[in-house]
Structure 1
Amino acid sequence: MLQTRREILSVFTSSASTTGLHLVSEGPAHSHRITVKSTRHGREEFFKAVLLGRSSEWYHYRLNVFGVVQGIELVVCGTHDSCIPLPVWSVDEAKSYTPGETAIPLADLATPKIRGTKYGSLLLVAALLSGKAEALTLLNDPSFPRSTRYRYHAKVRQYATLKPGVKLNIR
C-alpha cells in the first residue's frame, strides 16, 4: 500500500503515459496540493487536486468543511476507501471514481461483519456525510441498534465541524 507523499507521487508520475493523468506542478513539500493535467477523453483539462494517502483522510483533515472552498476539484489518493463528493483517482488501482462512488457497494454495509470493521465504519460515516440515500436508509432501519445509530450520528457531527489547531496545508 502506498502511504507517503513521495511513494504516491512516484507511482502517479511513472504511470502517466498509461493513465492519461500528468503531474503539472506540486506545491512546496509541506503542501498537499498538486495540479493535474488530464489528457483522457481526447481533451486537455487541468485540475486542482489534493494528495492523500487514503481517501478517508478527506474527512480526517476536515477537507469536507474547507477543501472545496479552497478550490479542490479532484482527490488523488494512494487507496480509495471512502465516499467523497468529488472525483477520486486511486493510484493503487489506477482507477477513477466518480463523485460519491465507493470501492465496495454501500449495500454490503448492512452486514454487521463488514460494518463492524474500521474500514466499514469509516465508509458508513463518509456515506452519511455525503448524504447517500443507501446510508440513511441503513441507519434508519429498525433492526439497526439504537446505541450504534447514536454513535454514528455523533461521528457525523464530529466530522462536520472543524477541529481546533492547524489545518492541512493545501494552498
Structure 2
Amino acid sequence: MGSPAGLDVHRDTPVEPLHTHLLGVVKYFWAQTVWVLEKQAKFTVFQARLNSVAKSGLNIPNILADYMCRYRGALIGKHFKTISQVMSFAVCGLVEDNLQNAWLAVGDLTVLLWETEIVSMSTYLKQLRKCIDSVLDYAVTLSPGLLTEKNKLHILLHIPDHIARHGPALLFSTE
C-alpha cells in the first residue's frame, strides 16, 4: 500500500514544536543545567532567582518556580516554554558561559518558533536556520552525546523547510 498521489509524508508532515523543541531540546538543556547546578550546590540559589523573575512583558503564565524545581523531572510543555524564556537570566553567573549562552540561543529559538506572523519568509528562515545552528553548536559543545542519542536535535533541521511549506509553526502545533 503506497501513499496517495502527491503526498510526501516527509514533507507534508510538519515538525511539531511542542514535542521537538519544548519536550526535546529545552528538556535536554534543562536536565543538563539542573545536573550542573546540583553538582555545584547552587540549585537553591537558582530556585530563589527563578522565584524572583518578573513575568511582565513575557507571554507566559505565572512562573511556578517552587513547583518546577521540586518536580524538575516531571515537567510538561508549558513549564519548558517558561523555562526557555527565563533561564538565561536565572542562571547568570551560576553556570559556565557556554551553558548560559546556550540558554540565550534556546530562548531565541523559542521566540522564533512561536512567531505567528512572518512578514518576510526569506529573512525569517535565514534567522531561524542561524538560531538552530547555534543551538546545535551549543549542544555538541556541552554534551556531544546528545547529537547521536537524541533524534529531536536532528529533526530541528527540518523545521525551516516545513515552515516554508506550511507557514508558522504554531499553525501546525498540537498544544
TM-score scaled by length of structure 2: 0.30
Counting strand residues as a fraction of each chain, which structure ranks higher? Answer: 1
Structure with more relative contact order (C-alpha pairs < 8 Å, separation 6 or more)? 2
Counting helix residues as a fraction of each chain, which structure ranks higher? Answer: 2
TM-score scaled by length of structure 1: 0.30
